[in-house]
Structure 1
Amino acid sequence: MATDVRPLSPATTPAETPETVESSVSVASQWQLMWWKFRKHRLAMLGGIVTIFIYLVAIFAEFLAPFPPDAFSARHTYAPPQPLHLFERTPEGLRFKPHVNGYKVEIDPVALRRTFVVDEEAKHYVRLFAKGAPYKLLGLFETDIHLIGPEDPDAPMYLMGADRLGRDVFSRLIYGTRISMSIGLVGVAISFVLGILLGGISGFYGGAIDNLIQRVIEFIRSIPTIPLWMGLAAALPADWSPLRVYFGITIILSFIGWTGLARVVRGRFLSLRTEDFVLAARLDGSSELRTIWKHMVPSFFSHIIASLTLAIPGMILAETSLSFLGLGLRPPIVSWGVLMQEAQNIRSVATAPWLLIPGLAVVVAVLALNFLGDGLRDAADPYNR
């Protein structure tokens, strides 16, 4: 008797049947469940892509920036942005020839001051992988190749305008990305260690140790944040090198930012210390420190990652605020907060509104990290519908 064998239709393929899906979910790890839920969060995915892009810019800042951050031209102070034109019209038609237009200097008859006007006839050609100032790529390889730059080294090219010293705002914005984004990572890393260590000790032991640590947390959190930042940052010696100031600001932000994570860790430890797996670890001879780091912390590590991701924007905003007020990072260090010092008065903003572009970079970075943190926080509990 012949048997009629027919292929399964797409609706009934084994990979798509409810039984197969249920079985794959039942054997999936927690990280797989987190990823499946995270990728459904569109804003979080977008925030993750933007965050990765920003950190790639920070890593390859020397290659992406057309000029060094301290390169200046006294003839182009407050020069306006030059739009980058990708195509040039020729008698044969359009051809790909990136260029920017030059400047003409005119005198304002009312204010009697020099102003720059775009000269449509003057063209300065731009090329990819152009030669420029030498640098060390990733701190290892000597090279002078930049992603974009003018063919004529003496030609002006200010894609985002120039500041009061004739420095390229676009190049300084790229270099500032490294400092502003790294200070968030370094600060959160220190807060991570302090928050888990002190919060874990508080929740694991309880009693007098718990009361002492909680009173310290409450005291720190009761002090207004901005005056506390300003007071501690102003205590840094004025003769410190830029590197010392950088680490000083990072440590100050870390010692203030660990309290929120410590509260979360304490609450989790209070509920976990009586669980069976913790008692089993202690009966097996595991030390208290090993029990905390090897058994208790991994049980809610996904929540910690989400909390840390949401803490990075706070660190970035804190550094930007202190640097903007002149109490944080100082020149010659280039950060977004230092760049925004150029836009502290109405006259500068009215003359050169492009000096506010670093503020836009701060907004984009903070929003991207917040979206990413929200997605991670939702994905940290993959069973929650």
Structure 2
Amino acid sequence: LEDDYAYAAVDSCAADSLCVTACPVTIDTGAVMKRLRGERHGPLAQHAGRVAARHWGTAVKGVRIGLDAAHAVPAPLTGAATKVMRRLGATDLVPAWSPDIPRGGGPRPAARRTPTARAVFFAACIGSVFASEDGGDSERGVSGGRASGSAGAFLSLCERAGVDVDVPETAGLCCGTPWQSKGYTQGHRAMAARTLDALWTASDNGRLPVVCDASSCTHGLGELAAALPEAERERYAGLRFVDSVSFTAETLLPLLPRAPRLDSLALHPTCSTVHLGITGDLRTVAEAVAGAVTVPDSWGCCAFAGDRGLLHPEVTAGATAAQAAEVNEREHDGYASCNRTCEMGMTRATGRPYRHILELLADALDRSEATAG
């Protein structure tokens, strides 16, 4: 039973804690699985997690280069190489290669400051690891640097709405979710200390809200302080984390021109939008993009869970089967979510191109301007 439990529960759990929202006595199975993962890590593994946190900027660059290199090699060779490594016991370290895994993403937006900023934008590093569904090579008019994907879309929308945001230096910073979900407590604590300290300074000691463009990362930022000793947590009590979808719904949409809408849109909320209580904001933005917005009745966790869908693709396949069948009962003009890896999971499940909802909104405004011009 213990041998089977390692895979059947610990390794294959998405650990997103969506189950707690349905449990009548609020049992958080995801938190239990994270604890069990942590108990499996000895001192050497915990030290490795802390080293990874210290050199996260370099690690992200390495993954981006690796993804681009993997796409440059014939897919059968890449697939064979990863299969051999997984058979040697690296199933929780080496992804099962598939050609639908994106190339490496672009760099995070360049740092900038303005005296009229209304928020601090913390671009999620997942957008730098994986290119967006459109290829990640489109450039938006963002002063101070190149940005693509959801980060570029958010900054473009802010620029159109006349809302200034600061962008801190984010190299090596992260929401901490990769360490938390895998049970690397020392690495999570190290990343929490560095990221919170940087964002405390960037937000003028909590005066400005910190906006993030990936819902799971917004959720992760909100849980960072819990990784620190209690005395240190109090210092960051004033930090406010807001998802880019909510910031767009509440602040940007009233200032943006009305864009021509798609006829229909299939929308995939995420586990984090439920935890954050922003599913309504997600729908508000989606309704600015499309006349008819459909959230499948069978919607649920896609189980991609960062890298879980790459390491154990069978789990995501099982979790998304009913929803994918429902989505594919008809054609939609657009497919959207608000978290890059969830978009990857739903794209794989349905064969449809899921993109961040802010990318679709920015594209609609681009088309409107081009038509008017």
Interval of TM-score (by shorter of Structure 1 and Structure 2):
under 0.3
Q: Which has the larger radius of gyration?
A: 1
| Higher RCO (C-alpha 8 Å, min separation 6) | 1
Larger % of strand: which? Answer: 1
Structure 2 length-normalised TM: 0.21
